Amino acid sequence: MASSPAADALFDFDLPAQPLIDALQHYGVLTRQPALFRSEIVDGRTSAAVSGRYSAEEALHLLLGGTGLVAERFGHDAGSAFVLRPMLDAKADGTGVASLGGMDGYPRLIQTRVWQALCANSRTAPGRYRSLLSFRVDASGQIQRVRLVVSSGDRERDAALLDVLGRVRMGSTPPSDLAQPVAVLVLPHEAGAVMRCDQVQGGG
């Protein structure tokens, strides 16, 4: 399959080794290519130096050298984004819905509520598509400002994803230290998502 012009674009990099969060900010300004991550997974890490002419993807992989993080591309052309995750993390925690960063406590609750909501709608039930979304959880536990970062490849499904997630409530107030916005990957079964919707219990 041929590469897109966007994927082939080359950029001139001259980034010294520095705090990873700073390097990612410089990278984003130069390439205009989203690199999504939870702040806690980059804290305390140092980037590798990147000097030379590279594509956005090549440069990001070089920049992450030695950090213990990897970048995964989701989508293609103008709708693509890179998602950073620890090298040894499971892609989807066995469910097909993966939140960036740790999955304990409130993030686990978010994952559960999102999964239940997606499975309750035949249009959005995971298994046959992949998508990347971000949103915020307000003080009442309601999901707000849902944004489709990478399309599912179906316009009607995309609209349904935004509608379904916009109705989700956690049932409890988020902790003050919850890193927001939250990003969620929805992966197809073939990408390692082993849980099926009929295995998920409904929950209020």
User: pLDDT by residue (tens digit) across 60-78?
Assistant: 999 999 998 888 776 655 5
What's the distance, CA 119 to chain centroid?
Answer: 19
What is the assigned CATH class of domain 97-197?
alpha beta
What is the pLDDT at residue 103?
46
Q: Is the per-residue pLDDT at 95 higher than 60?
A: no
The CATH number of 5-86 is 3.55.50.30
H-assigned helices in the chain = 5-8, 20-31, 56-63, 106-119, 155-165
Tokens 């990612």: give the residue.
24
Q: Is the per-residue pLDDT at 52 higher than 60?
A: yes
Q: Is the per-residue pLDDT at 107 higher than 50?
A: yes
What is the pLDDT at residue 2?
41
> Best-predicted range by mean pLDDT among 1-5, 13-17, 32-36, 145-149?
13-17
- Domains of the chain, by residue range, sit at 5-86, 97-197
